[in-house]
Structure 1
Amino acid sequence: MSLSASIRRTFSALSVYNYRVFWLGQLISLSGTWMQTIAQSWLVLQLTNSPSALGFVTMLQFLPITVMALFGGVLADRLPKHRVLIITQSSAAIQAGILAILVISHHVQLWHVYVLAFCLGVINSIDNPTRQAFVVELVGPDKLANAVALNSMLFNSARIIGPSIGGLMIGWLGTGGAFAANALSFLAVILGLLIMRTDEFVAVARSPRGRVLTQVAEGIKYAFSHSDILLVLLLMACLGIFGYNFTVMLPLIDKYILGAGPEVLGILTSAMGVGSVLAALAVAYAGKARVGVMLAGALIFSFSLLLVGVSRLYPLTLLGLFILGFASVTFSSNANTRLQLLAPDHLRGRIMSLYFLVFAGSTPFGGVIVGSLSALIGVSLTLQLMAIICLAGTLVAILFVYIRLQRNAERKAESLVGVGGSSSDRRSLDA
């Protein structure tokens, strides 16, 4: 295959106009979001010099997701997603603007950061399930795997650009400048939503109105009755609680293991982002989601987290974070795509809200665990313990898949014997 054909295959979803304007707007906006993530963590450490306070603000930001994400999934299945996203993105811009004004005017206090972090969590609990489920309406099921991988590349490209600029901006203009830049960056995604061609959206079945709690229960029941979906969600819960708390881990690594400053924090985050982007490109080119690749990503993620935990050398930490980023996107992109393809249209918002719940809604618990243990036993030992737990969860998932494959093989053999050699269909674990 020629280079140009490979590029077209890797970026095929960008040929769709609505997805293209959405993707470009998100690239700018998410870069600003990463600036704010770095700035918020640094601001908390400036105000308190406390790992526990950093864990607490992370808990407050993600706690609404734990409580409200499933309701956000119901809204995503009921309401026009395009309209909901305009509202949520505008609300997030206002939140960032208020934080910028407080910092620049020198009136910011720790409780301000806590309250605004909680407000952002409320916004994200509705925005993220809606945004995840919206992708299939932009590109259709045939390009969904490619679009999800490009979304991962988008997220992690922003992880490279945002922290690098954010770290420099904090050094030059202070945290207030980073918050102001994030507020302005939301204009790009809002404009992208406004100029979309709504008549080109792919039609999907919408959930009928009904009792909210009943519809939440319907989504949960569907997930628990389908083992392929449940496997992904349980593994993501394990890695989400104990491994994906990057907003807490990276500032702690920077300050308490390497003894560096905000500029190095941006470089650490960017090293992780480079690995993530390369993984997203590989997944986008493949265009498929496979359970074996997903499990391999989780396994490498666990070992690379352990490497970061034991490292005391800056270059080795950078290498560990690069591998960590590559593995995290390999796992999460395959997990996300599998769920979207396995979920029926009228339940996709609720299934993706469960994914978001275990991916981000578990962060309050993980953030508090990481922050509290870091204060108690040190950052390095905490990361090593988290890595061992992630590894144990991954090995259990691998064992489950192996046992299931063995049982499927036995059933196939029995079927061949029973029908005199005719074959029966084998249920594949691949989406």
Structure 2
Amino acid sequence: MTSTLEMTTGTGDFGLGVGDGLAEAVVDHSAIQDNVRTLVAQAGVPLMAVVKADAFGHGAVPVARSCLAAGASWLGVTRIGEGVELRRAGITAPMLAWLYDPASADLARAHTIDLSVSSAADLAAVARSHGPQPAHIHLKLDTGMHRSGCPGEDWARLARSSAELERAGIVRVVGIWSHLSHGGQPGAIATHRQLLMFGAGVAIARGAGLHPTVTHLANTAAVQSNPALTRHDLVRVGAGLFGIGEGLRPALTLRTRVVQVRRVAAGRGVGYNHAQRTTRDTHLALVPIGYADGIPRAAAGRAEVWVRDRRAPLIGEVSMDQVVVDVGPEPVAVGDPVVVFGPGVLGEPTARDWARWTDTNEHEIYTGIGQRVPRRHVRQVTGEPSTEGAAA
């Protein structure tokens, strides 16, 4: 079996279908599908694959197809437009959107996208949308995250109003849901408070005459840390699809190449403001990827990349389009592959490393990859492009 990293860095030829050949993000669908299967097994209930933000920068349409093929039952998006993109690609799986302009409820109904409802205003907007069938909604209860969802004091009223509209054939309450502030951590008092409040909220809704098909609370962290208490009828997994979590496989490798090499004496300033200086006679490699492509400026002086089978540090400030790498006394060559981050199987940096170096999380590292970096979709087991297309 040839790993994605070996396959894509074996030569200097990226073979891109689009773009200029300076960088690419290789998305390994075998890793995504392995992660889906692992998380379905851990949860023991159906899984909603959350493919918001272009599937965390991995490519929403091909990722959604891979997730469904591997056993996901639902898809989750933040915005209605994200769901419309999937529908226009021919994807028909049940889908939920939860952050939207109420005036767009007609668009969601037209594309059979379920909507989250957190307030009387949300409910009224959905009820005003037009269509031959009831609008499908999921009532969201704020169980203590204090971010979105219906406050507890308004919940009974929202449940009763929803039940009235359901009896009138205007809406169908498909689900009741909430979100955990501490990822289901078993020892967190907040988790147990949320579990109790969610259970009470579901009971109140049923007492009002609602019979939801699914109740859902758990995210990736909860599935992995506390599935027995948090899973309910459905789990929502986003981060875990892409290898963020324990025992999961990172699915994306960000690659570029060396475009210039020069020998520089010790004590020379590098880049803007000479933020760093060389500490020895060394070789500096210019790499054509910068903060416009998702390299955080906070990485300056901290981060490393993989070149010539070794890690080499960034030196100087991160520019919009390029960074400089100190490769040491032994030079590299123009055209040599550079892995910014990957799964880590060869020792290359990972997205988790970059998150640590820049005081953020892996989610931000992935979603920050710029649009001018083409995504190439492959399957590790064959080394061939996936059926979703060579680039997205």
Same fold (TM over 0.5): no
TM-score between the two structures when normalised by the length of structure 1? 0.21
User: Which of 1 and 2 has greater Rg?
Assistant: 2
- Greater share of helix residues, 1 or 2? 1
Query: Greater relative contact order (Cα 8 A, min sep 6): structure 1 or 2?
Result: 1
TM-score between the two structures when normalised by the length of structure 2? 0.22
